[in-house]
């Protein structure tokens, strides 16, 4: 008895259940909004394209950050290696100045 009542209620529905699920699953064009399945598909493709472009841009940004970090590390190492010869050069210059002073004093003593 209640099955007949349910069938009557379903048949009274403005959109039959099968068509309703076709709309939900995207297998039937949505005429009520004037949008066909082709338009829906095109919109989905555009959405996917934009999403993939955003993901690519994010990946490029991450890659550039990593590259920047690598370059910063390389520059820092080069600066550290450049400091060593500079400090050695300065100490050698001081030694030479000291030797020049010693030689000058010895020269003066010999006179």
pLDDT digit string, tens, across residues 14-60? 655 656 566 556 554 545 554 555 556 778 888 888 999 999 999 99
* Dihedral angle over CA of 94, 96, 101, 105, nearest 10: 150
Q: What gap in Å lies between CA 96 and CA 99, rounded to an integer?
A: 5
Q: What gap in Å lies between CA 59 and CA 54, rounded to an integer?
A: 9
The lowest-confidence range among 8-12, 66-70, 104-108 is 8-12
**Does the pTM exceed 0.85?**
no
User: Domain residue spans in the chain?
Assistant: 1-35, 37-111
Higher pLDDT pick, 56 / 84: 56
């Amino acid at each position: 008895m209640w099955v007949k009542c349910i069938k009557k209620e379903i048949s009274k529905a403005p959109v039959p259940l099968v068509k309703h699920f076709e709309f939900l699953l995207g297998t039937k064009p949505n005429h009520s909004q004037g949008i066909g399945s082709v338009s829906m598909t095109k919109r989905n493709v555009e959405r996917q394209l934009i999403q993939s472009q955003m993901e690519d841009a994010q990946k490029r940004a991450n890659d550039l950050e990593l590259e920047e970090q690598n370059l910063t590390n390389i520059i820092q190492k080069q600066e550290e290696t450049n400091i060593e010869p500079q400090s050695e050069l300065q100490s050698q210059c001081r030694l030479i100045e000291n030797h020049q002073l010693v030689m000058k004093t010895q020269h003066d003593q010999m006179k």
